[in-house]
Amino acid sequence: MINHPCILILPLLLAALSGAVAGDYLIGVGSHDMTGPAAGVNMMGYANMEQVTGGIHFRLRARAFIVADRRPGPDGARFAFVNLDAGMASQLVTIKVLERLKTRYGELYNEENVAISGTHTHAGPGGYLQYVTYSITSLGFVPQSFDALVTAIELSVVQAHDRLKPGSIFINTGDVKNASVNRSPSAYLFNPPSERAKYQTNVDTLMTLLKFVDETSGKSIGAFSWFATHGTSMSRDNKLISGDNKGAAARFFEDWFFDNNGSSTFPASNAEQSNVARASTKQLSRIKATGGQACNKTASRESKVRKNDGLRFVGAFCQSNVGDVSPNVLGAFCLDSGKPCDFNHSTCHGDDQLCVGRGPGYPDEVLSTKIIGERQYQKAVDLFTSAESKIAGKIDSRLVYLHFTDIEVALKGNEVVRTCPAALGPGFAAGTTDGPGVFGFRQGDTKINEFWKTVRDAIKEPSKYQVECQKPKSVLLDTGEMFWPYDWAPAILPIQILRLGQLVILSVPGEFTTMAGRRLREAVKETLITYNNEEFDDNTHVVIAGLANTYSQYVATFEEYKQQRYEAASTLYGPHTLSAYIQEFEKLAKAVATGDRNISRGPSPPDLSSVQISLLQDPSGDSPPAGVRFGDIKQDVKSRKFRAGEKVRATFWSANPRYDLLTEGTFAAVEKLENDNSDDRWKPVYDDDDFCLFFRWDSSSGDSYGIATIEWEVPEEAVDGGIYRLRHFGAFRTAKDSPVEYFTGASNGFTVS
């Protein structure tokens, strides 16, 4: 009996070696609304002061997954990954989320095993970052934006945690066509020809997708994918909150899954069931209608009405090395002549503001958002339905904080160089072809004229050391040496590695250019294989999760840095920034490969919450003009009959949407009249999360009220001869301390034929 103990032990041994056997994970997904304030708050991304929120095209969400080792015990490794429909992650948001998770779960979720990454939409409310540079245009810190993010991230993780169940994970990769172009191709050409020759294009077209499958039901519960393209399909003039192309892709993907497997929502946990009960007793304004694939004809709407989003499949589209990657795939053209812009500087006869990129739906930015979203979504569906490669192996994570302003970097050939305090060059002020910046600056400029030098020195004259260190960038804004009224730029940055079997995720706190990302991924992969060729090999997937955990702008290669286009001018820590990242990530990768847990965590980043300045006022009491009530129609629908493709519009007297963000609810709905005898015969069929329904907010006519416009682009699928109406929901206070009151209003009914 005991002749061959090895045979008995072997499977155990193998399982121990690989860390986990097939199906040996616990998996949970979660999703929560994080839309935030839809009126008067500066949007994060373009740094355009005039671009303030004025309504919602579709809602922003935090989407999370947790994977945990199924083996019981306190050491069962796990990590949580959260993807935000936000411009980027924020150090302060990360700090507060971790505090809240600590209160709930002790040490289970911590800085090392939680990653928070932004999709880089430029159409979400700003003011949630703690460094001055990133909150100038939002007039400082905006608590309401911040709280919406922190709460949504926390609750998405809680949901994922509550749902942890045994399951399998599959991985698949493929190329996304025509959803990205390089917006600084002249800088890319600075990279060595031998290096460029290794790649077919000047952008990374690869999408890497994870598919999560519940073991008991065999049904998928979610999918997360990574692919690099900027969230700039919506322009710098847009005022509607939007998840941009990645948010759109997520919306389409989740709707597609629902349409295909709508009845198969997985079983709710007890906590969720009580949520459902609560949801159904919530006030009218909290109704949750449903999505439609850009409101194309899909399954019958009625069957899709979901009372609680918490039960749904989570499909997330995450950002990667996005630095020089634009979704405006038609190229950049001069606004005046219509001709292509200057290649090296992206100007039109010297003017940076005339050179603007065009998306595939040009001049319709919503259409561009839809098309670039669809291209990602369709590839994700392909990868999802054909995913066969099962993930097996350890779950692991490492994080270190680095004082990035002074890292000694050993280059090949024994040369030792250093990173610098943060600084921005003139190319930063020029902006990009996705959103031109200040007049008078050009991408690729390494000189600053006397006028701007005088202005700069009035703000902060850079130290001699800094000037030398940053070359060939000339310092326009010496953010790393500016500390008044508080720090202008981060000095301490986290870098993080998450491992899930043969997938390795690198959380980087910024926007790596295409080639910078390639170099980092290759260096990490090589290190992993060098130190552990049993668990890592050529099939190991290394993905970059961009804009993660904190934000420190761009990372261009040493060669791209020479040209000083926008990405290089925004590479904060000097010409060797990328080399420093690679050096430090190699150390982390070695620690992962060798199982070394004895690495120094490094200096903690500051919590600057106590010194934040907030100059944007909260609304302090609204009342309608004489003779009307909030929710009353101002201008009704102009007809009783509409056709598919037409726009139905009504305006309402309304209060500032910041009194209650109606999180997981809606400000607008299209309702359909049902032929039943219930009291509630108007059933919601579209809400402000739907692509075909627009909620616009305008307060230019009054200080204590505004006008809400609800506009519905009638989709084909609605053409069933039914009777519809537009509905508005809102909330107000009459004074700062008075209670929040809710109102609603509806248009006349109309038919759609």
Ligand X SMILES: *[C@@H]1O[C@H](CO)[C@@H](O)[C@H](O)[C@H]1NC(C)=O
Positions in the binding site for ligand X (CB under 6 A): 177-178, 186, 218-220, 257, 260-261, 264, 329, 343-344, 360, 598
Which residue number has the CB closest to ligand X? Answer: 360
Which residue number, 159 or 184, has a Cβ lying nearer to ligand X? 184
How many helices, marked H, and strands, marked E, lie in the chain? 15, 35
**For residue 421, is it left (φ>0), alpha (ψ between -120 and 50) or beta?**
beta
Cβ-contact 167, 212 below 8 angstroms: yes
Q: In 10 A of CB 441, how many CB atoms? A: 25
d(CA 135, CA 139): 6
Q: Report which of 400, 352, 408, 354 is spatially closest to residue 583, judged by C-alpha positions.
A: 408
Q: Bridge-partner residues for 31, per DSSP?
A: 63
Residue with smaller CB distance to ligand X, 219 or 471 = 219
Residue nearer to ligand X on the CB measure, 128 or 257: 257
The least CB distance from residue 520 to ligand X, in Å, is 24
For ligand X, the closer CB: 82 or 556: 556
Report how far apart the first and last C-alpha atoms of the chain are (Å, whole number): 79
In the complex with ligand X, the residue whose CB is nearer, 330 or 410, is 330
What is the smallest separation between the CB atom of 258 and ligand X, expressed in angstroms? 9
Task: Please tell me the distance from the alpha carbon of residue 171 to that of residue 739, in angstroms, as a whole number.
Answer: 50
Q: Would you call 701 a catalytic residue per the annotation?
A: no
Residue with Cβ nearer ligand X (205 or 238):
205
The two three-digit tokens of residue 320, written as one number: 């990667």
Smallest distance from ligand X to CB 368, Å: 9
Residue nearer to ligand X on the CB measure, 83 or 205: 205
Instruction: Determine the longest span between alpha carbons in the chain, in angstroms.
Output: 95
Concatenating the DSSP letter of every residue in 538-576 gives: TT-EEEEE-SBSS---EE--HHHHHH--HHHHTBTT-TT
336 DSSP β-pair partners: none
* All residues at 6 or more sequence positions from 66 whose CB lies less than 8 Å from its CB, including other chains: 26, 27, 28, 29, 30, 78, 79, 80, 81, 157, 160, 161, 164
Q: Report the nearest approach of ligand X to the CB of residue 701 (Å).
A: 39
User: How is residue 57 written in tokens?
Assistant: 């095209």
Which residue among 145, 326, 368, 552 is the active-site one? 326
- CA-CA distance, 566 to 182, in Å (whole number)? 13
- Least distance to ligand X, CB of residue 607, Å: 27
Q: What are the residues facing 125 on neighbouring strands?
A: 43
Min separation Cβ 329 and ligand X, Å:
6
Q: How far is the CB of 211 from ligand X (least distance, A)?
A: 9
Q: Which residues are catalytic?
A: 326
